[in-house]
């Protein structure tokens, strides 16, 4: 420590009989600083939001059949993987029946095509009646039509066989089993819930008064009691509720930071941003006699500066006082500092 205060403190310690090796703790205080800067800030409010998955489905049966197998809760699946199976005996029989009908109709088409060729050849030599030729042509057209109908019926039977296995429509995790093996299902009965944990978004409802101060792509701060981060606005639903005067906003959420179902707080601007002199909130020291910060002078000592705070946004807040952009203020280690004390800057906090 330098200056008169340091000398006075040393003399006081000597008078009190404090050993010299114990006086080392009264050397320059270690602090972390960050520069005051000109920033674009806007007044804001905190709104509640919820983290949800963009792909969260309750998958249902498309057939009336018995459930024979279902994936366990927690199973990770890829798109197209089977996650439940229905009893398929009846549908196999229907597929066989439909295939037989197709084969039968194909045989009729083949026969009438051969018969038509034969009659056309005889007709060219005037050995076949025209009415007989017309009848065979008509029979062939009907057979081809019946063959197409049989193929369509086979297609329905094959679709039914295909959907006896419930498949994942996207990558995800089975989070809930809504039915048990052996239960008889009806069409549209829900079987399980599948959630994609890697496609997350935050849904919040904001006052209509804020809609003019945000845009798609703007980055907002989100936080809860355990973590905080930033998220870009993915979409804004521009139609507000006339009763609640609220509208919906959705933000992309980082799946590495958030999980489905978490409650979060969004910091939403309530007015247009303006350029102000701002410092970190951590630099403020609040006392009954007022609010102040410690400014580092010549990288060696601190000067106490009284300030008046203005609007705040996130970790920074507007201040009025004897500060300028670029002035370093103490953000860590201010406890116990006094005006004129020597300090040792151990690091400079980054934005």
Residue 339 has pLDDT above 70, yes or no: yes
β-bridge mates for residue 277, sequence order: 38
Residue 149 has pLDDT above 60, yes or no: yes
Can you give the pLDDT at residue 13?
45
Can you give the pLDDT at residue 351?
45
Residue 5 pLDDT level (bands cut at 50, 70, 90): low
Give pTM, 2 decimals: 0.69
Distance CA 67, CA 84 (A): 8
Helix 89-124 and helix 130-162, axial crossing angle in degrees, nearest 10: 160
Mean pLDDT within 80-87: 97
Distance CA 63, CA 86 (A): 8
Can you give the pLDDT at residue 350?
57
Can you give the pLDDT at residue 333?
87
Mean pLDDT within 190-207: 95
Mean pLDDT of the chain: 87
> Residue 350, Cβ neighbours under 10 Å: how many?
5
Taking only the tens place, the pLDDT of each residue in 215-263 is 899 999 899 988 989 999 999 987 777 777 888 999 999 999 999 999 9
Residue 52 has pLDDT above 50, yes or no: yes
Residue 74 has pLDDT above 50, yes or no: yes
Can you give the pLDDT at residue 26?
56
Residue 317 has pLDDT above 60, yes or no: yes
Domains in the chain, CATH or no CATH each: 4-42+274-348 (2.40.420.20), 44-54+200-269 (2.40.30.170), 59-194 (2.40.50.100)
Residue 289 pLDDT level (bands cut at 50, 70, 90): confident
Can you give the pLDDT at residue 270?
84
Lookup: tokens for 207: 């006052």
Mean pLDDT within 307-328: 88
Region of poorest pLDDT, from 54-58, 88-92, 192-196, 316-320: 316-320
Cβ atoms of residues 27 and 141 within 8 Å: no
Q: What radius of gyration, in Å, describes the C-alpha atoms of the chain?
A: 39
Distance CA 61, CA 301 (A): 74
Can you give the pLDDT at residue 193?
97
220-229 exposure pattern, b = at least 16 Cβ within 10 A, e = fewer: bbbeeeeeee
Can you give the pLDDT at residue 12?
52
Distance CA 45, CA 209 (A): 11
DSSP run (H or E) holding 276? strand 274-280
Residue 28 has pLDDT above 90, yes or no: no
Can you give the pLDDT at residue 85?
97
Residue 35 has pLDDT above 60, yes or no: yes
Phi, psi of 325 (to 5 degrees): -60, 135
Can you give the pLDDT at residue 202?
96
Can you give the pLDDT at residue 138?
93
Mean pLDDT within 51-61: 96
Region of poorest pLDDT, from 105-119, 139-153, 262-276: 262-276
Mean pLDDT within 12-20: 46
Can you give the pLDDT at residue 24?
40
Q: 319-322 long-range contacts, Cβ below 8 Å, gap at least 24?
A: 319/36, 319/277, 319/278, 319/279, 319/293, 320/277, 321/293
Residue 70 has pLDDT above 50, yes or no: yes
Residue 128 pLDDT level (bands cut at 50, 70, 90): low
Contacts of 72 (CB under 8 A, 6+ apart): 174, 177
Can you give the pLDDT at residue 181?
95
DSSP run (H or E) holding 205? strand 200-207
Question: DSSP of 61-78, one letter per residue?
Answer: -SS-EEEEEEPPTT-EE-
Taking only the tens place, the pLDDT of each residue in 302-316 is 999 999 998 877 788
Region of poorest pLDDT, from 38-42, 61-65, 279-283: 38-42
Residue 8 pLDDT level (bands cut at 50, 70, 90): low
């Amino acid at each position: 420590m330098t200056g008169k205060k340091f000398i006075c403190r040393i003399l006081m310690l000597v008078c009190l009989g404090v050993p010299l090796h114990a006086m080392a703790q009264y050397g320059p205080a270690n602090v972390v600083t960050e520069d005051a800067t000109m920033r674009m800030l806007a007044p804001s409010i905190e709104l509640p939001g919820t983290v949800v998955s963009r792909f969260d489905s309750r998958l249902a049966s498309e057939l009336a059949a018995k459930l024979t197998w279902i994936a366990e809760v927690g199973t990770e699946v890829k798109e197209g993987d089977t996650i439940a199976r229905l009893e398929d005996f009846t549908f196999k029989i229907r597929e066989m029946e439909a295939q037989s009908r197709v084969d039968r109709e194909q045989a009729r088409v083949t026969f009438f095509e051969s018969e038509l060729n034969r009659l056309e050849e005889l007709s060219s030599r005037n050995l076949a009646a025209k009415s007989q030729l017309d009848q065979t042509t008509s029979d062939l057209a009907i057979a081809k039509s019946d063959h197409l109908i049989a193929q369509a019926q086979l297609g329905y039977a094959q679709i039914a066989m295909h959907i006896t296995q419930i498949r994942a429509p996207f990558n995800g995790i089975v989070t809930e089993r809504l039915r048990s093996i052996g239960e008889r299902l009806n069409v549209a009965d829900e079987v399980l819930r599948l959630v994609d944990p890697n496609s997350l978004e935050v849904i919040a409802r904001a006052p209509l008064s804020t809609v003019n101060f945000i845009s798609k792509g703007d980055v907002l701060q989100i936080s809860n009691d355990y973590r905080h981060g930033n998220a870009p606005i993915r979409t804004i639903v521009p139609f507000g509720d006339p009763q609640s005067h609220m509208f919906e906003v959705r933000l992309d959420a980082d799946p590495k930071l958030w999980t489905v179902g978490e409650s979060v707080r969004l910091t939403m601007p309530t007015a247009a941003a303006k350029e102000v002199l701002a410092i970190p909130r951590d630099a403020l020291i609040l006392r009954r006699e007022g609010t102040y910060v410690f400014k580092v002078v010549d990288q060696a000592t601190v000067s106490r500066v009284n300030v008046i705070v203005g609007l705040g946004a996130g970790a920074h807040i507007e201040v009025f006082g004897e500060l300028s952009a670029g002035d370093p203020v103490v953000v860590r280690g201010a406890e116990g500092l006094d005006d004129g004390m020597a300090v040792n800057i151990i690091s400079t906090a980054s934005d």
